Structure 1
Amino acid sequence: MSSGNISFVKDFFIVGFPGLQPGYYGAVAALLLFAYVCILVGNGIFIALFTLEKRLHKPMYYIILNLVVSDLLFSTTTLPKIISRYWFQDGSISFTGCFIQMYFVHYFGSVSSVILAIMAFDRYVAICNPLRYPNIVTKLNIFCLCLAAWVLTNTCPLMMAIRAYPLPYCSGNTIIHCYCDHISITSLACINRALYGVPAFAFAMVVLLGPLAFIIFSYCAIIVAVLHISSTQGRLKSFSTCSPQLIIIALYFLPRCFIYLSSIIGINFSTDLRLVIIMMYSLFPPMINPLIYCLRTKDVKETLLKKIKVSMNPLFIPTKVNVSTVCV
């Protein structure tokens, strides 16, 4: 394509759901805002509980803390702009801002994927090597693993953004998505997209399937180990310690695998349905995960109930302090 046919884009416009009628814009904006508030409140409560309660300063909860932070940052990166698009009809985003959003979308998604693998590693050691658990899963080791997740996953999203930024864009500036991602941006470029799409697809597969393969291996080993436990009560207790993580992992990976596999085997969706599925697997885990932590994790549930009792009955505080002092 000649340079004379290339129009240099100064900003992009996020369309969102292309088939949505204007009369439903307010309802969709309110629904997205409700989801965002739930994410902020639910994950914020866990961060507050973790900060205030020393009994939660355990390796497993450090892993959950990293997942919470990643969920919060991902939601804050994506939701405000699409809410603004439907509430104030302001879907415009600057050229540079769109690439910054694209980078963070893929970065935080990659971090969450690796953190879930670390969570599976924690359960694998706890059940398959319980005697060595205190020596293997230490705060320092978990800190190093989580730090590696934040540092090492930064490279590919950064390279994707750097490679896509200088491309010539001439196919309009409308992004048929709820946020800027690599596919939606590079599809507007005046180049053979395969040169950029294939490496990006390979990166997505590595980030998705690499941790997922480790998770599957870990839980297969866990199932084998649990089935060798003689008592039924012991088997149920072991499975119950894994159930919160399994729910979180299923919410994160299953819809993503469905989207990728459907495109490979030739199952076609309407654009709106595809975006609905994408938004569901982007929003449901950050919304539901705090409920799983609080309702399915004993320490968090007890800490939350204690804080609620304290807030409802101020006299509960000195009573609790006196009893603790006596017990010590």
Structure 2
Amino acid sequence: MSDFNTTDFTNPSTFILLGIPGLESSYIWISIPFCTMYAISLVGNFTILFIVKTEQSLHEPMYYFLCMLAITDLVLSTSTMPKTLSIFWFNSMEINFHACLTQMYFIHCFSSMESGILVAMALDRYVAICHPLRHSTILTNPVVSKIGLAVVLRSCILSLPYPFLTRRWPYCRNNIISHSYCEHIAVVNLACTDVRLSSYYGLFVLFSVIGVDVISIIVSYTQILRAIFRLPTKDARVKTFGTCSSHLCAISIFYIPDFFSSLTHRFGHNVPLHFLILFANVYLLVPPMLHPIIYGMRTKQIRDRLLRLLTQNQS
């Protein structure tokens, strides 16, 4: 380990991920809920993909976007959790410099992609409720494909500067990252130069991507609520609003922890480091775990298809 604490190197071949400093004695216990959440995420999201693929009646825009969300959740959780668990179980702290940059890119790219997919799903709900008779003509398969492509390209392009900027900084302090994965700020803070460009770019992406996406969702749901309140009966209003409940839950479990994590990292100077790292891991695990559960429980078509699969297997 002493070789990795050396100074005066500009391009480290490896970084050392400490995991969760201060909680080393509890790694085995921490790994149990982490591994459980990751396993539920894998099973749940693969189940969503299988059900939508095999059920012809689910070949609609809402479920195409749901499949994109499931794929994004799988990549996002898998980009960090296997390495984190290897730290907890095997004390495998080394990570190759380029693998670290790749992990950083995947985290930012697919976090941005998930935000864009939630906006696309809000658009689908807006068209379905405000223009129900034109839903199939507005959100055709080519339009859905173009929306998906736009979300992917935006995320991939805007996330490219993260690893490229990080790679160009000279690292002459040490190569020890006080985190369980290659979190952007935790890595660039090891550089021995002015890294404000990386910090400013991170803020730019936060406001231009997450900020714009949140505003778009708010505008969509403002129009949706106006349309719902125009409905003649209370039952009709409740039933129509119920079609948005899964999406609203998905929005809440993604954006609320995201904003909390961003604010505490920048302004929570008195917050213990182990709490920040724990929360950062939970933020990348909980949405991928809960999304398939929420849509599986609250979406009748998926729930019915899943029940048929289970009863067929039992018989």
Place the TM-score, normalised by the shorter chain, in its bin: over 0.9
Gaps of 5+ in 1: 314-328
* 1:1-328 mapped onto 2 (5 Å cutoff): 5-6=8-9, 8-22=11-25, 24-262=26-264, 268-313=270-315
Please report the RMSD computed on the Cα atoms of aligned residues, expressed in angstroms: 1.6
Which residue identity does 1:10 align to in structure 2?
S
Aligned to 2:4: none
Structure 1 residue 175, shift from structure 2 partner? 1.3
Contact 1:11/1:95 (CA < 8 Å) preserved in 2? yes
- Matches of 2:254 and 2:19, distance apart in 1: 22
Amino acid at match of 1:185: V
Q: CA deviation at 1:160?
A: 1.7
Q: Which amino acid counterpart does residue 56 of structure 1 have in structure 2?
A: L
- Single out whichever of 195-204 and 89-98 deviates more from structure 2: 195-204
Give the letter for the 1:206 counterpart. S
Determine which structure has greater relative contact order: mean sequence separation of CA pairs < 8 Å that are 6+ residues apart, divided by chain length: 2
CA deviation map 1:221-267 (0-9, x unaligned): 11111111110111001110000000000000011112334456667
203 and 6 in structure 1: CA distance in 2 versus 1, 3 angstrom threshold:
same
Q: Is the 8 A contact 2:264 2:276 kept in 1?
A: no
Distance 2:228 2:11 in 1: 60
Q: Distance in 2 between matches of 1:307 and 1:7?
A: 56
Structure 2 stretches lacking a partner, 5+ long: 1-6
The superposition leaves residues 292-311 of structure 1 with CA deviations (integer Å, 9 ceiling, x where unpaired) of: 11110011011111111111
Task: Tell me how far apart the structure 1 counterparts of residues 23 and 263 of structure 2 sit (CA, whole Å).
Answer: 26
Q: How many residues align?
A: 309
Pick closer, same or farther for the CA change 1:146–1:101 going to 2, 3 Å: same
- Deviation of 1:6 after TM superposition, in Å, equals 4.3
